[in-house]
Amino acid sequence: MDFNRESFLEGKLLLINKPIGWTSFQVVNKIRWLIKSTFDIKKIKVGHAGTLDPLAQGLLIICTGKLTKKIEEFQSAKKGYSGTFFIGATTPSFDLETKIDSKSSIKNIDEKKLHETSKKFLGKSKQIPPIYSAIKVKGKKLYDYARNGESVELKKREITIFKFIIKSINLPLVNFEIECSKGTYIRSIANDYGKELKVGAYLHKLIRTSIGDFLLKDALEIKDFEMKIKKISG
């Protein structure tokens, strides 16, 4: 991979493994700062092609320079995820960002039911996004409404689930793989999956493994990108 001033300005696509605890925006800011400081560039466009929640990790496509014009194209690609549901409890954010607000017995949940329920989600459907999300309603992000205890009408969005496989089961934890369309919230799938099981569920762990033909296994850790680019300046 060529790491030079001209290539970043002309447009470079970077595959980054976003760590848990970082926002996608923080990753973009870090990459932008490293490029600007290394090559003494006053201004350069840097953006990502699809947000990952802070508690999620995995593939983030970063575009620089003129290639930022293609971000929308990358955003529209099919996404692949692996992760873990916690069965028998719910949280307001549908993940570990908020505390458990309900619990149910899972004594009637068996392997057959878990597999059969996942099949119900295949194909096109209408999904309600989590109230704890960055979607804007009337110029305000949904999670701002949620944190202020304000109610807001959530509109359903059409999504497509191409693949939903239960990989392994160790109740209350259930490991899965999902391939889905742009705009799909895996947290909402976790919540809806729990509703179908009638015991509740939330997203315990999430890793984005692919975006279109781009794979997580080909992604750089942020520290590795930093080492590569510092070698140039050093």
From the candidates 40, 53, 101, 218, give the one annotated as an active-site residue: 53
Mark 40-58 as b/e (b = at least 16 C-beta within 10 Å). Answer: eeeebbbbbbbebbbbbbb
Task: Examine the residue annotation and report whether 95 is marked as an active-site residue of this protein.
Answer: no
Residues 6+ apart with CB under 8 A from 160: 123, 124, 125, 180, 181, 184
Q: What is the dihedral sign for C-alpha 88, 181, 207, 25?
A: negative
- Measured from the Cβ of residue 166, the count of other Cβ atoms closer than 10 Å reads 18
Query: Count of alpha carbons within 13 Å of 157, Cβ hemisphere only?
Result: 15
**Which residues are the active-site residues?**
53
